[in-house]
Amino acid sequence: MKKQQTLEMERVEQHFIRYLPDISYLYLDKNGRAYIGMGFHISSKSDYIRLPLKDKRTKKAVSNIDKATEFARIIRLPKGYAVNFYEPFGECYLSHNESIILLKNKIKQLTIEFKEQHAELNFAQLPAKVQLAVLDVAYDLTEQSIKHAYPDFYQAICIKNWPVAAQTCTRSGICKVRNNAVQALFKNLETPDKSVFETFKNYFHKAKY
């Protein structure tokens, strides 16, 4: 049995804190989806109401009614503008400390999902650097799973083909510095024998057809 790799949560947190901007107000992306903090997708009014928001002027907690009103106001704005376009329309904000708490919870949830829903990935047995790369690639997904959103990357991880994983981890819409940082995680990793690649390659080929 392969030994499980230890991925320090502090390292993961610092990775995202370094490469993700912390936007304290609600904004829309080019598809009209609402976000706040470190890329936290807010899919509904209920999601927004659950956030520990404060009033920009008073610095006091905001009522659920005011949260609901603000969400309805922001979600009706035109989509796809620069993030700072949406700031004047909001009266609530998410503090940095609360954003960090949400980040930690999201990382834990992503880790649990990989261990439970993607058994073929053997997430806990991947090198710690690869685990971090996988979490980064999956972090921004809202509707698709990593398996369907980035099939070439996912297959490369399954067969432990680190050079191909490095080539396929770059994503559009993600800043170059962050993409480069994820790509660098695959450097200097040992690659299994070619025979292992062929075995899994044949398996995935058959699974597709």
Most confident residue range from 115-124, 184-193, 194-203: 115-124
Count of CB atoms situated within 10 Å of the CB of 103? 21
What is the end-to-end Cα distance of the chain in Å, rounded? 31
pLDDT at residue 115, as a whole number: 85
Place of tokens 């261990």: 115
Q: Tell me the CB-side half-sphere exposure of residue 182, using CA atoms within 13 A.
A: 26
Strand partners of residue 34: 28, 42
Give φ, ψ of 39 to 5 degrees.
70, 35
Provide the whole-model pTM.
0.84
- What DSSP element (H or E) covers 35? strand 34-37
Residue 181, judged by CB atoms within 10 A of its CB (0-12, 13-18, 19+), counts as middle
Residue 202, pLDDT > 80, answer no
Cα separation, 66 vs 72, whole angstroms: 10
Least confident of 30-34, 163-167, 169-173, 187-191: 187-191
Neighbours of 64 (CB within 10 A): 13
Q: At what angle do helices 9-19 and 128-139 cross, to 10 degrees?
A: 40
Residue 61 per-residue DSSP state: B
